[in-house]
Amino acid sequence: MSRYCGIDWAEGHHDIAIVDQDGTLVSKKRIGDDPAGFTALTELLTAAGDTAEDPIPVAIETPRGLMVAAIRATGRAVYAINPMSVARYRERHSMARAKSDHADAMTLANILRVDAHMHRTIPADTELVQAIAVLARAQQDAVWRRTKASNELRCLLREYHPAFLATFASKSATNLAKPEIRAVLAIAPTPAAAAKLTKTRVAAALRRAGRKRGIDEFAAEIVEGLRQQGLRQPELVEKAMGRQALALLGALEAACVGADDLEQAAAEEFRKHPDFAIITSFPGLADLSGARVLAEIGDDRCRFADGRALKAYAGSAPVTRASGRTTSITFRKVKNDRLAAVGWIWAFTAMTHPGPPREHYLARRARGDRHAAALRHLFNKMLGQLHHCLQSGEPFDTLKAFAGPITFTPEPIEPVAA
């Protein structure tokens, strides 16, 4: 195809530019983000020579949105170009740092004209895996919001209500996201309110939270713990902090409910996918963690050329920089953060159970790796095996996967600033 299209998207409109093989502007137009705008875009492409057999490729700075979904539905190749890359391309043609929507659309079209082979199209994932990605990412966001709200609430309670944290402390910390703890905090937001609690009222709160066994004994322990003497804030300040705690508790409640609902929905959709059996055959991957992994790698088998590409995408493979006599191995900071996050959970879960994954982890530790490096190496190894199993359609075989010798790679080190 000798025509290339660039779209500079915005909230209310999009600028279109189509260039030919020589970089000459063929046509341009500003369209709206609505059906009429999409119709105008298709007419513009058709007038430029677009056909079903040889569609004009499109470059845009985002992989999501209604316009992107509509363009992908037509079968055209869509390239999602990183905005930082677009900014660097723009600097090749203007040292004045001038910027306009039309110029950005031209830049995007010219990126495809000269460097299309250096960029990848948006993966051709199925509709089911796209739905799984929406649910799995939303659930992970809800978990992060839950953690943030829990940490904020814990910090506040430490300032005026430490007895509450001590009452529910388990080992080193209090998990405020537990339904029982949230239910008790709702009726005891301040030390003054906690001192007036009765065993009967606490037991009723525990039952509402879903507790089934040992309610009376646990309620007695809670009442005794909350009545312990301690330092107090001034009365009005304590009441104000109690109101703030209830507000934070509301945010925590919403995050917990959202995380639970989205976890169930993501797991239900994941079970419908053909790759479910292969992914969950790996140690450490269950319904939710498997859904997160599938959401990030997709089911387009042509997306990653080999296992090395997938490992680089996940950030599990280190970056080697060699110049002259100097060689450094550092962490890969540019990566898919969501896949790296679930990879840590995957490797940690697999390592905690007896079997070859744990033996591999212990062997890496014996060779000098720290905990994080050993887990990252285990994740790196199993991710390559997952790529092979998905390509071949075979379930995971532990004996085959860990039959070879354990290779030693130096632990990545953080670069030291000069």
Provide the pLDDT for residue 416: 42
Q: What average pLDDT does this structure show over 366-383?
A: 93
**pLDDT value at position 59?**
94
Per-residue pLDDT, averaged over 332-339, amounts to 89
C-alpha dihedral, 110 to 113 to 114 to 119, nearest 10°: 90
Gap between the Cα atoms of 55 and 53, Å rounded: 6
Q: What per-residue confidence (pLDDT) applies to 407?
A: 54
> What gap in Å lies between CA 332 and CA 317, rounded to an integer?
7
Going by pLDDT thresholds of 50, 70 and 90, the confidence category of residue 409 is low
CB of 410 closer than 8 Å to CB of 329: yes
What counts of helices (H) and strands (E) characterise the chain?
A: 18, 7
Which pLDDT does position 305 carry in this prediction? 87
Q: Maximum CA pair distance of the chain?
A: 82
298 residue type, one letter = G
pLDDT digits (tens, 9 = 90+) for 248-289: 999 999 999 999 999 999 999 999 999 999 999 999 999 999
Q: What distance, in Å, lies between the first and last C-alpha atoms of the chain?
A: 48
The percentage of residues in the chain with a pLDDT greater than 90, rounded to a whole number, is: 64
CB 270 within 8 A of CB 291: yes
Instruction: Give the long-range contacts of residues 216-225, CB within 8 A, separation 24 or more.
Output: 221/167, 222/167, 222/168, 222/184, 222/197, 223/197, 223/198, 223/199, 225/163, 225/166, 225/167, 225/168
